[in-house]
Structure formats: C-alpha cells, structure tokens
C-alpha cells in the first residue's frame, strides 16, 4: 500500500453526517443530551433529582474513549494492549492498588480482546466513542455514585434504565412525535446546537462532484432529522450535492450484515416502505440498506468493477472499523480532539489554549457563564488526561508516554485523521496525505499536524 493517500485517486467519496459534515456546538449539545437522559431517569424511573444538577467542574469527567464496566460500575481508560491506564468507580478515581485489586497485577481487562477485534457492544460493557452518547458516561458514573451513597449494590440492572433513556430520546419516531427532550430542543433552536458549514466546505463538495466523483451521504440518523440538519448546514438544495443519500443506515450493521438481513427501503414523506428492495438500481434517497447492494450500484455509476471509495466519519465503532474491515474502503476520521488538545496549523500558530477555546466552541457560538467555565468535551481532561497518550509511572519513578487504545485503533483502521472537513476544503484534489503506517512514527497520518501529546511522545 502506498505511503500516501489522495482524494484524486478515489472514485467515490462518502460522508457520515453528524459530527462529520455537520459540526455541533459541543458544549450546548452535550449539556442537552445529558439533561435529556437525566430527565428520563428522574421523571420516568424515579431516580434522585440531584442528577439534574451539574456544575461546570463536573464536565471534566466527560471524556471520549471510556469503557464502562457494567459488572462493577467502573469506567476505564485502556492502553493499546488492553491494560487499564486509569479507572474510576462512579466518578471517584481508583488508586493503583484498587485497579490491581479489580484487574490483577497486570491490570488486564478481561473483555478487551472481544472489544478490540469486533467493536461490538455487550451486556457486560459499553464503549463511549461518539458525542451523541458521551454525556451518558458522566450520567452513568453519577448514577453509580448515588447507588453507593444509598448503600445499594451496583449491578448491571441500572444499565437497562440508561438504555431506555437513550431509546426514549433517539428512537426513529421521536423527531416526528416530538417525544423526549433532544429533538424538540434542536428543532426549536437549531442554531444553538448546529454550526452551519462554511462556504468553503459547500464549494468543496460542489467541486468534488463537478470533478466526476460520486458523492454519498450515509447516516444512522432518520430521514426527518437528516433533512433538518442538512438544510441548516448546507442549504435547501443539499440533495443536489449527493448522488446517493442513505438515512437510518443503522451502522455498523450497514457494513457487516448481509443484504437479506438489512435490505434497502424507499421513503415516502419520511416513512419507510414495508418491502425491502432486492437491489439498488439508481441514484436517490434510501433508508437502511447494506454495503454489498450499494457496492453494486457504485460499480454501475463509476463503470468500474472495483471502484475506490473513501468514507469520512467520526466513530470508530460505526464508521472506521466496519468501513475498512468489511467494505475495504479508505477511511478519514474526523477527530475534534486534535483541536481540543492543540495542533499547529499551516497558516496560524495557535497556542494550545487558544486553539482549544476557539476550535471547540466554533466560530459563532454564544456562550453563557456556565459554558465559559465548562470544559469542552473535545479538550484534554484533568481527570482522564489525553485522548491519544497517557502518562504512566514505572516502579523506578520514570515517566512513560503510552498510546491509548483509541489512538492505536485510529492508526489501524483509518487512512488519515483530520480535525474537521473544513481543514482540508482548500486543498487541491491531488494533495498527498501521509497515510497512517505501523512502520512509521506515531505522528504520521494526522493533518495538518499531530496532536501535541503525540508530538511530545515522538520527541521523547
């Protein structure tokens, strides 16, 4: 495989929608999601009302890449080999001795191999890898705190209520029925939560299509929410930008399931047809679906037996791993953590603090006093450290910078990582990106430059 990757070499360019083409105001959105989940637990399941009270300092706990161990209520941060780097019980940090008590002298998490090879979810654990469920990590930890405070045993049963809260707010009929708290709030004040795409991105999409590329939009969001988002960020004529739009794709199943397990369906007024399609024959807007049938359509649209596809997404579980593993697509991961930690751009040398503040907020974000003090969900956490690297001390007291499991997964299943689509919109189509490579430095593959923690690790 070439050491470089270029969009010019791709026949088809696909995009996820949420947190990929569409950037959210993360602070407002995460607060809304947390409140949506917490209100369900309080109002429908009888949980303590104190769950609704969150201080700015509380948000430091909110950190992408955590795994909740449902068997004992611990949240853990994993190294690339599956050892436990840091852990909490609820929101309380576990000491080294407590981690060893839970996970043995080698600090090995017993479910790591299953998660690392399949990225599937389990009744025994849950992996937080996107901003739509990330606030649930904080809520989950606070529920464990409350159970402990009341002297109640922590069992996986509380997770059933968490799942019910997620379903209540995100199920496919919630937008249409105005149920839950998430969709009604976004519909009522869309600009508060969604950032419009810069004109540079809209023009970039038009240029891609004019250059002969087939453009795809593949999102797990339902069609009605997709329409609201796309009209806000791209304009009323957004459908003209894409050859194929697939909503309610139910990733990662879109990539991993067989056609008879997940057929494509047509849509009429945002309602799916009852019968599944036996194949995909033309451009258009579809629901659900599977990779093999889409692949056959792409062969027809490109007149190539093996069209080269690249897919942009923000989730390892839903986008990077399944697209690269099952469909053998190139993948570009959107990592707002690159901005949250601090990166040096080609045009501007910003300090880590300025970059974190400016980039994670977005250009037009309106901040109240609470949001001013609140940690951005993409920024480095005081409690958990960096998303990419963790500082560990050996028995001799020497510091070691250890790659996290999330970071090593990015290197393994992504071609390139960027902080946003906007960061590459001005580049020529034939720009040569340095591809991730196991034989190269851990800083390779990030554009425009690697996160500061990885740069520091490489230098040390």
* Cβ-Cβ contacts under 8 Å for 246 (sequence gap 6 or more): 216, 217, 218, 219, 254, 264, 285, 286, 287, 288, 289, 294
Q: Is 157 a catalytic residue?
A: no
Q: What would the two tokens of residue 193 be?
A: 């939560």
Pairwise CA distance, residues 337 & 417, whole Å: 11
84-89 vs 74-78, strand pairing mode: antiparallel
Pairwise CA distance, residues 297 & 292, whole Å: 9
- 3-class secondary structure, 110: coil
Nearest to residue 312, comparing CAs of 450, 424, 439, 432?
424
Pairwise CA distance, residues 460 & 458, whole Å: 5
Preceding omega of 429 cis (within 30 degrees of 0): no
Q: φ and ψ at 126, to 5 degrees?
A: -145, 135
Dihedral of CA atoms 248, 249, 252, 254 in degrees, nearest 10, equals 150
Per the listing, tokens 């037009």 go with 364
Which one of the listed residues 9, 11, 16, 50 is annotated catalytic?
16
Q: Is 16 a catalytic residue?
A: yes
Sheet bearing 264-265, strands edge to edge: 264-265, 284-288, 244-247, 214-218, 12-15, 309-313, 330-334, 416-418
Q: What angle do CA 432, 437, 438 make, to 5 degrees?
A: 175
Q: What would the two tokens of residue 102 be?
A: 């839970």
Which one of the listed residues 18, 145, 224, 390 is annotated catalytic?
18
Please say whether the beta carbons of 372 and 360 come within 8 A.
no
286 CB burial (10 A radius; 0-12, 13-18, 19+): buried
Name the percent of the chain in helix, strand, coil, to the closest 5.
Answer: 40, 20, 40
Please give the positions annotated as active site. 16, 18
């Amino acid at each position: 495989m070439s050491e470089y990757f270029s969009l010019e070499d791709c026949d088809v360019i696909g995009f996820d929608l949420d947190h990929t083409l569409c950037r959210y105001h993360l602070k407002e959105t995460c607060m809304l999601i947390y409140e949506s989940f917490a209100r369900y637990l309080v109002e429908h399941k009888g949980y303590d009302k104190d769950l609704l009270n969150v201080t700015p300092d509380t948000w430091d706990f909110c950190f992408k890449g955590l795994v909740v161990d449902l068997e004992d209520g611990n949240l853990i941060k994993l190294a690339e080999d599956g050892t436990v780097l840091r852990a909490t019980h609820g929101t309380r940090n576990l000491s080294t001795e407590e981690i060893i008590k839970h996970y043995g002298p080698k600090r090995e998490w017993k479910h790591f191999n299953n998660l690392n090879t399949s990225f599937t979810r389990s009744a025994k654990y849950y992996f937080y890898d996107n901003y739509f469920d990330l606030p649930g990590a904080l809520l989950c930890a606070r529920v464990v705190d409350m159970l402990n405070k009341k002297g109640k045993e922590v069992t996986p049963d509380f997770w059933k209520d968490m799942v019910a809260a997620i379903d209540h707010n995100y199920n496919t009929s919630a937008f249409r029925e105005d149920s839950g708290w998430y969709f009604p709030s976004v519909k009522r004040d869309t600009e508060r939560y969604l950032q419009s795409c810069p004109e540079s991105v809209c023009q970039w999409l038009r240029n891609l299509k004019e250059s002969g590329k087939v453009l795809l939009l593949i999102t797990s969001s339902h069609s009605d929410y997709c329409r609201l988002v796309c009209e806000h960020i791209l304009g009323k004529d957004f459908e003209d930008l894409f050859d194929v739009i697939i909503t309610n794709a139910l990733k990662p199943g879109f990539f991993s399931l067989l056609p008879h397990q997940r057929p494509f369906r047509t849509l009429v007024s945002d309602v799916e047809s009852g019968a599944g399609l036996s194949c995909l024959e033309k451009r258009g807007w579809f629901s659900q679906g599977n990779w093999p049938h889409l692949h056959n359509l792409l062969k027809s649209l490109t007149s190539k037996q093996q069209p080269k596809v690249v897919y942009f997404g923000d989730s390892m579980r839903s986008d990077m791993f399944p697209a690269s593993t099952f469909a053998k697509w190139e993948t570009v991961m959107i990592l707002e953590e690159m901005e949250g930690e601090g990166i040096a751009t080609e045009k501007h040398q910003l300090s880590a603090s300025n970059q974190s503040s400016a980039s994670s907020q977005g250009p037009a974000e309106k901040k109240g006093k609470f949001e001013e003090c609140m940690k951005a969900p993409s920024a480095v956490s005081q409690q958990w450290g960096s998303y990419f690297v963790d500082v560990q001390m050996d028995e001799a007291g020497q510091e070691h910078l250890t790659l996290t499991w999330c970071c090593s997964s990015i290197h393994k299943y992504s071609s390139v990582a960027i902080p946003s689509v906007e960061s590459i919109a001005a580049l020529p189509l034939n720009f040569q990106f340095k591809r991730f490579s196991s034989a190269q430095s851990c800083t390779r593959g990030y554009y425009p430059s690697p996160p500061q923690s990885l740069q520091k690790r490489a230098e040390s």
